[in-house]
């Protein structure tokens, strides 16, 4: 049994404590926005936040987490897709297949939290997620657009 706080809600989940957080989110909590891409912390498709820090949930057993820690998934990043990164992503039509994009956005959100105006080098260093469709340049542009402060409501 694990007690987890996911997107602000405390949940008791009946699960083997060795189960990686990714699979608890996907299979027990029903939150499939976080994706399985590699299972070995290589691709970042499974990125979620623990207390605001991006982590690769595919290698994090739930036994390592306490109920006090805040787990945020892509579903909890904003209520309605209005996080500045989500708006920037929409404006630039960043995704192709989209499979890596939850992880990309969560990694980017973690970056902006500690570094609101990242340089290209900061982005290179922090966004190490894999996108096989090749959206990197638009991901970079969208991070910068979000960092530059989007208008509260999009007007275009």
Q: Does 156 bind another protein (CB under 8 A)?
A: yes
Q: How far is CA 108 from CA 16, 20, 42, 70, in A?
A: 31, 22, 16, 18
Q: CA 136 to CA 68: how far, in whole Å?
A: 34
Q: Which of 13, 36, 76, 122 binds ligand FES (CB under 6 A)?
A: 36
Identify residues 101-120 at the interface with ligand FES (CB under 6 A): 101
The angle subtended at Cα 45 by Cα 84 and Cα 63, nearest 5°, is 105
b/e for 65-91, b at 16 or more Cβ within 10 A?
beeeeebbbbbbbeeeeebbbbbbbee
Q: Does 116 bind another protein (CB under 8 A)?
A: no
Q: Does 72 bind another protein (CB under 8 A)?
A: no
Which residues would be at the binding site for ligand FES (CB under 6 A)? Answer: 36-39, 41-46, 56, 58, 95-101, 131-133, 135
Which residues would be at the binding site for another protein (CB under 8 A)? Answer: 16, 19-20, 23, 26-28, 30-40, 42-43, 45, 73-75, 77-78, 80-81, 86-87, 89-91, 93-102, 105, 123-125, 127-140, 153-156
């Amino acid at each position: 049994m694990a007690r987890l706080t996911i997107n602000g809600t405390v949940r008791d989940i009946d699960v083997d404590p060795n189960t990686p957080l990714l699979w608890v989110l996907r299979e027990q909590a029903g939150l499939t926005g976080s994706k399985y891409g590699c299972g070995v912390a290589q691709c970042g498709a499974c990125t979620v936040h623990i207390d605001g820090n991006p982590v690769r949930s595919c290698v994090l057993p739930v036994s390592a987490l306490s109920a006090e820690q805040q787990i945020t998934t892509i579903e909890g990043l904003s209520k309605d897709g209005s996080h500045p990164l989500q708006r920037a992503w929409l404006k630039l039509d960043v995704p192709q297949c989209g499979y890596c994009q939850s992880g990309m956005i969560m990694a980017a959100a973690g970056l902006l939290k500690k570094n609101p105006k990242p340089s290209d080098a900061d982005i290179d260093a922090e966004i190490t997620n894999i996108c096989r469709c090749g959206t990197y340049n638009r991901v970079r542009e969208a991070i910068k657009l979000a960092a530059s402060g989007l208008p509260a409501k999009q007007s275009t």
